[in-house]
């Protein structure tokens, strides 16, 4: 492809299943994209979805988005690339998304080749790599142990560009990938066509969140990107949105600890010479981004393990005297629970999340003063080795807090208001991230086998 022609990328939505206006997508198709791409997952919803092997996005919503994207891509001979299938990118997530695509192909009578890139790794392989000293913590994760590997339900590696380069050489109509570094599904094809690596990855960083980089921002609207020889441009496809130098620069800082360095598989983006220029009232032009390759190749590992079962109870409190004494009341309830079940229920965790004080930020809350608060939302959470044990702990803590006596109490009918009956809810199995580490690999592409299917 000649540099006289910009490479054009249509980003459908911030996460597959979040949706997009059909008019925005059609405006993107009118610009004749060379690529339609979407990021389908994240670790943001926590470890449960990785460990349990299910998607955090709804099947019907994902099918709706994919149906529009794939039909447009196949009909117009435009490759469709999907990263982090099923939300977490493990084998069950990949199979779930593949089933949806096959269903769409049958219903729409579409015929194409699909490359499926696998990202889940065998725990035995991880253990051997760990013993060889090739697995290190990604700060601030703790050091790994063999016991932690054994306890882990599922491990995925976050793929970079190399597996996409290999898949794209076969020119499939659709690429469905497991766990992927978010910008890669947008960046791989233009890099393969000869466009600048740094600019392609930086554009991918912007496009993976679609219209969140515009003002007003949205995670459920389309965004369009253009890559030239020494720049890229971003343009919202909905007339109610605009890209500004502020909104695009701000999104470049999104989810970063350093404003000048954006690390990823294979190297990092150096943004110190980056420029943001307002080209039109809605289009921003970006230049000056540089790529610095790592001397040692690594991929990020993500693993999750189960730690028990959760039961929760939701309640509200409006008595100003109780609110002023809430910490002492919580401590009293915790002590009463511990005394009542000492040595009988094994290990358990009991938490009280107090909304209206620090329910969102916890210990990081800068204004925890509740002297002027007129009501609190209280979530009682119990985690134990079995669901029945969690039920017991939660129910006892809830009833104890409901009738807990404190100095100045005026009503004995109950301290808490419950919005639901039953008041206690099973939240099911609980997972935590057990692996957030870097795996050293001289050949990252070898970790991600590719399967080619005729759909």
Let me know: does 221 contact 11? Beta carbons within 8 Å. no
Cβ neighbours of residue 43 closer than 8 Å, sequence gap 6 or more:
50, 88, 302, 433
For 306-362, write each residue's pLDDT tens digit.
Answer: 999 999 999 999 999 999 999 999 999 999 999 999 888 889 999 999 999 999 999
For the record, the structure tokens of 289 come out as 């981004």
What is the pLDDT confidence band of residue 371, given thresholds at 50, 70 and 90? Answer: confident
For 347-361, write each residue's pLDDT tens digit.
Answer: 999 999 999 999 999
| Cis peptide bond upstream of 97, omega within 30 | no
| Domain residue extents for the chain | 7-302+435-454, 319-416
Let me know: does 344 contact 422? Beta carbons within 8 Å. no
For 91-114, write each residue's pLDDT tens digit.
Answer: 999 999 999 999 999 999 999 999
What confidence score (pLDDT) does residue 4 get? 59
What residue ranges in 194-282 does DSSP mark as E strands? 223-227, 232-236, 261-264, 267-270, 275-278
For 251-269, write each residue's pLDDT tens digit.
Answer: 999 888 899 999 999 999 9
Look at residue 424 and tell me whether its pLDDT is greater than 90. yes
Report the predicted TM-score, pTM, of the whole model to 2 decimal places. Answer: 0.93
Let me know: does 163 contact 445? Beta carbons within 8 Å. yes
The span from the CA of 270 to the CA of 291, in Å, is: 6
For residue 217, give the 3-state DSSP assignment.
coil
Question: CA distances (Å), 2 to each of 39, 201, 210, 229, 278, in order?
Answer: 27, 19, 26, 9, 25
Backbone angles phi, psi at 416, to 5 degrees: -120, 150
Look at residue 177 and tell me whether its pLDDT is greater than 80. yes
Instruction: Indicate the DSSP class of residue 85.
Output: G
Closest CA to 297 of 114, 148, 159, 121: 159
Half-sphere exposure of 108 (CA within 13 A, CB side): 22
Helix orientation angle between 22-30 and 59-75, rounded to the nearest 10 degrees: 20
Look at residue 3 and tell me whether its pLDDT is greater than 80. no
The span from the CA of 318 to the CA of 411, in Å, is: 12
Half-sphere exposure of 36 (CA within 13 A, CB side): 31
Closest CA to 298 of 197, 180, 442: 442
What residue ranges in 184-340 does DSSP mark as E strands? 223-227, 232-236, 261-264, 267-270, 275-278, 284-287, 290-293, 298-317
Question: CA distances (Å), 134 to each of 127, 295, 370, 437, in order?
Answer: 10, 15, 49, 10
Question: CA distances (Å), 222 to each of 49, 51, 239, 388, in order?
Answer: 26, 30, 11, 46
Average pLDDT over residues 233-248: 98
């Amino acid at each position: 492809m000649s540099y006289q022609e910009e490479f054009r990328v249509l980003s459908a939505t911030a996460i597959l299943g979040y949706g997009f206006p059909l008019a925005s997508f059609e405006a993107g198709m009118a610009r004749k994209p060379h690529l339609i791409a979407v990021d389908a997952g994240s670790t943001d919803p926590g470890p449960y979805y990785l460990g349990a092997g299910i998607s955090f996005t709804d099947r019907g919503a994902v099918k709706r988005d994919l149906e529009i994207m794939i039909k447009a891509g196949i009909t117009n001979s435009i490759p469709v690339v999907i990263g982090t299938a099923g939300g977490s990118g493990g084998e069950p997530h990949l199979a779930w998304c593949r089933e949806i695509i096959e269903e769409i192909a049958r219903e729409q009578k579409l015929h194409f080749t699909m490359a499926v890139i696998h990202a889940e790794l065998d725990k035995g392989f991880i253990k051997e790599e760990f013993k060889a000293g090739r697995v290190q913590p990604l700060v601030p994760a703790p050091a790994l142990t063999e016991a932690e590997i054994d306890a882990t339900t599922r491990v995925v590696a976050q793929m970079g560009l190399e597996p996409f380069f290999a898949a794209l050489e076969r020119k499939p109509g659709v690429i469905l990938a497991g766990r992927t570094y978010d910008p890669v599904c947008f960046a791989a094809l233009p890099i393969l066509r000869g466009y600048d690596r740094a600019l392609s990855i930086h554009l991918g960083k912007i496009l993976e969140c679609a219209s969140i980089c515009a003002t007003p921002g949205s995670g459920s609207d389309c965004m369009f990107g253009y890559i030239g020889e020494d720049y890229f441009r971003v343009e919202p496809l909905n007339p109610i949105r605009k890209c500004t130098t502020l909104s695009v620069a701000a999104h470049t800082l999104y989810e970063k600890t350093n404003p000048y360095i954006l690390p990823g598989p294979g190297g990092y983006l150096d943004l110190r010479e980056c420029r943001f220029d307002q080209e039109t009232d809605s289009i921003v032009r970006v230049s000056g981004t540089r790529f610095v390759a790592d001397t040692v190749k690594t991929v990020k590992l993500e693993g999750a393990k189960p730690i028990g079962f959760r039961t929760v109870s939701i309640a509200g409190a409006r008595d100003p005297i109780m609110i002023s004494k809430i910490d002492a009341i919580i401590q009293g309830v915790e002590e009463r629970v511990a005394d009542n079940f000492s040595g009988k229920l094994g290990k358990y965790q009991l938490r009280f999340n107090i909304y209206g004080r620090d329910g969102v930020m916890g210990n990081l809350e800068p204004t925890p003063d509740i002297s002027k608060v007129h009501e609190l939302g209280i979530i009682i959470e119990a985690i134990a080795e079995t669901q029945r044990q969690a039920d017991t702990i939660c129910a006892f803590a809830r009833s104890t807090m409901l009738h807990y006596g404190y100095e100045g109490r005026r009503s004995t009918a109950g301290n808490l208001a419950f919005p639901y009956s039953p008041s206690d809810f099973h939240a099911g199995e609980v997972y935590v991230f057990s692996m957030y580490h870097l795996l050293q690999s001289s050949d990252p592409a070898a970790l991600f086998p590719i399967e080619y299917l005729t759909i």
